[in-house]
Structure 1
């Protein structure tokens, strides 16, 4: 038996398995953002009765496609892979952030980013295997959790801190877009110079749009904290509705930006830079 045959017959190492999960995760995340952006573009243009949607409704759209449950199962698996990769980044410190206060904060951010997708992965998996609606109960669950938080004497302060954190994260996405920091996670060196430029610009547009939507969501949460009103806290769909009130062109531009972010995630899935694994 040749050396190459022997190597190919050996089981994957844990690190190669984690890399595969991460790449699958980026792809699944990209698909979700492309669907969300597409639905928002349809809303802006009035095409086929399009309406703004959040990530859970994007899952429902995937579920309604031919072989939708199978596709949704793949998305669920991919999102789970993304969660695992983010936790690996946090606990194994793959980005070499260190254990000082700043480093721990960044690593906690990686964990938080991953955990935010656990609910989405669960919703996709539940719908794929049980056949239920992927977007069932999405709004009421969020509203209920926020209402319970606001019932506490310290609830407004905690929700306000969460809101400021979301706004800060949104602004940081925009900073990453124009500082170019986002590009270090994609290895596009093997692409022709013109394609590298296109990939870079796509990432800039995508991260900017994502930052805008996140900042608006943070603003809604801040209003909910200040008013002690859980109904004021809105998600992606609410952010789109606010943008639509500024005009269909504004909504379409941001929606196309989110589609660009989804495309960039697909590029990252193909050409990832995965450190420490």
Structure 2
């Protein structure tokens, strides 16, 4: 149940991020923001406090599921170097979404809601011995995750985690194609984030670092930026839909 609630919460965040970017492209308000922008937008809706409360509960559930995957090897990745790296990735993902859940709680308590920008976090890490190397390695980590997301989307490897026998033929077709688009789009965005983190380390300039919102802004700044951003926005909404498919059909046996 925790995992399914978590995938639902994660899906809603990505759908909101994509929707806000699409609205920016269409000149209907919106913004090129990350998870914080999405949470703040949801908070302004009717029953916003209820939505944010449910989101926080779901994200803490997702954190718990990721830690179960990492510690107890629920996905049976093994103890080889590849399995260990994958499980470390699960743990890192869990911690990231725990941070987003805490931001939700802070927003509910009216204590700020946001824990700082990517650049400020990067500056804090780089201020410590070995911090520059750590940022570069984090950038390489994002690059690896981005490439893996694209590979998973292209190979349809995610289908092995679904209860396909519970899906109709049409549901399989729609879910498979939406998931492919979503994973590839998220992979591309993660690779852009990786580029900025690595540049921040190489130039020893924390202001070069950008998170998800910064990556979307960078896309918008390119030639044909609005068109590209529109495609990425639809891709992120597709990724959110992929998360919702996971919430319903994914095997989450621990």
SS at match of 1:212: helix
Is 1:244 matched up with 2:220? yes
CA distance, structure 2, for counterparts of residue 133 and residue 68 of structure 1: 16
* Aligned equivalent of 1:260: 238
Distance in 2, Cα, partners of 1:56 & 1:185: 29
Aligned residue among 61, 86, 108 for 1:81? 61
Aligned to 1:44: 25
C-alpha distance after superposition, 1:211-252 (max 9, x if no partner): 011110111101100110111101111111111122211100
Please report the TM-score for the alignment, with normalisation by the length of structure 2. Answer: 0.94
Given the alignment of the two structures, is residue 187 of structure 1 paired with residue 167 of structure 2, yes or no?
no
Instruction: Give, in whole Å, the separation in 1 of the partners of 2:124 and 2:12.
Output: 33
Task: Name the count of aligned residue pairs.
Answer: 252
Deviates more, 1:27-36 or 1:110-119: 110-119
Shift of 1:143: 2.8
How do 1:11-160 residues align onto structure 2 when only pairs under 5 Å count?
20-47=1-28, 49-128=29-108, 130-134=109-113, 136-139=114-117, 142-160=118-136
Question: Which deviates more from structure 2 when the two are superposed, residues 37-46 or residues 182-191?
Answer: 182-191
**Per-residue displacement from partner, 1:100-151 (whole Å, max 9, x unpaired)?**
32222221111111111111010012212x13453x3431xx4333223323
Q: Are 2:166 and 2:249, in contact at CA under 8 Å, matched by a contact in 1?
A: no
Corresponding residue number in structure 1 for 2:247: 269
User: Is the radius of gyration larger for structure 1 or structure 2?
Assistant: 1
Equivalent pair of 2:66/2:94 in contact (CA under 8 Å) = yes
**What is the SS of the residue equivalent to 2:177?**
helix
Q: Distance in 1 between matches of 2:131 and 2:95?
A: 21
Runs of 5+ consecutive residues of structure 1 not aligned to the other structure? 1-19
Output the TM-score relative to the length of structure 1: 0.87
Preserved contact between residue 146 and residue 186 of structure 2 (Cα < 8 Å) = yes
State the Cα RMSD in Å.
1.4
SS in 1 for 2:165: coil
Per-residue CA deviations over 1:138-193 (Å, capped at 9, x if unaligned) read 31xx4333223323453222211111111111111001100111222222332221
